[in-house]
Amino acid sequence: MPDLDPQMAAILERMEAATAGQPDFTTLSPAAARAQMAAGDAYWNDDPPALPRVEDVVVGGVAARLYDPGVASPAPAILYMHGGGWVICSLDSHDAYCRALALSTRAVVVSLDYRLAPEHPFPAALEDCLAAIRWLAGEGGALGLDPARLAIAGDSAGANLALATCLALRDSGEAPVHAGLLIYGIFGDDLSTPSQRAYGEGYVLTTAKMRWFFDHYVPDRGLRRDPPVSPLYADLTGLPPLYLNAAEFDPLCDDAVELASRLAAAGQPHEFKLWPGVTHGFMRMSRDLDVARDANEDAAGFLRRALA
């Protein structure tokens, strides 16, 4: 792996050794896949940073976890949607990441426990995101939040949900979100892009896993190019300022590159950063990966400016 960041290569070697003999989770039931992934995620959540306040809450009827870094009330807030292909991962899988995001942005992070597929296929997760953001915009003051400084963020499938939420709010004439953070997101349904072909096997996320995710989340193939599922094909005007990034060794890399191109063509304010030498999921690996710390600070800087 000569083009990988050396620290990233070491992480992949350790992950491969730790999972030797385990079945690929695409051969498992969703429940078994979640359990297997939770065991692997434990390493990245070991000894998480302490915060003055971490509390399980309900926003818009949806369970969530609030991370308060100790900022004065009313505080800026970020609604965060975890990744996991709409099928796996949880509040716990992204716990350390959300703690770090709250500290680096000096904003309260509200991590959403949206419903997962296939038990709750599309559009259940998107409906949860919309219910949560609308509640924060109208009732967030009850949690010490400032509705005038509200952002939305997510990684992978969570980035998909964050962008789809912004599109739905725009289409309904609502504008509660002042910025969006989209981390190596799923933005389209094309599993034959050059990055899928180059990095769709052997680099954490695989094309086979993406196919498994889509089959569970949107079993009706006729819906997969609709903008709420594949926001890459939406009208991209009239959105809040967006920050999006991509990892070089990621089958989803071309999704973000293409989205940035379409945002530019639409005249939509945005920032885009492509991080070389790293794979999908790298932002949660900062305990062992220097470039992850740089990438997280870059993204946090965008949110600090947007929510100032």
Q: Is 254 a catalytic residue?
A: no
Which pLDDT tens digit goes with each residue over 179-202? 999 999 999 999 999 999 999 999
Q: What angle do CA 231, 35, 187 make, to 5 degrees?
A: 10
Residue 192: which residues within 8 A CB-CB, separation 6 or more? none
Pairing of strands 145-155, 179-183: parallel
- Residue identified by tokens 């996991």 is 84
Which pLDDT tens digit goes with each residue over 10-50? 999 999 999 999 999 999 999 999 999 999 999 999 999 99
- Inter-CA distances, 211 with 26, 120, 205, 270, Å: 9, 17, 11, 29
Mean pLDDT estimate for the chain: 97
d(CA 120, CA 159): 18
Res. 1: pLDDT tops 80 = no
Strand order in the sheet with 145-155: 53-59, 62-68, 108-112, 75-81, 145-155, 179-183, 242-249, 270-279
Catalytic option among 104, 111, 156, 195: 156
* Domains identified in the chain and CATH numbers: 6-306 (3.40.50.1820)
Sign of CA dihedral 271, 275, 278, 283: negative
User: What would you measure as the largest C-alpha separation in the chain, in angstroms?
Assistant: 52
d(CA 84, CA 91): 11
Token pair in block for residue 235:
């009208």
Question: pTM of the entire structure?
Answer: 0.98
Name the amino acid, one letter, at 270.
H
Catalytic option among 5, 250, 254, 255: 250
Q: Is 111 a catalytic residue?
A: no
Q: Is 156 a catalytic residue?
A: yes
Percentage of the chain with pLDDT > 70? 99
Which pLDDT tens digit goes with each residue over 130-151? 999 999 999 999 999 999 999 9
d(CA 249, CA 252): 9
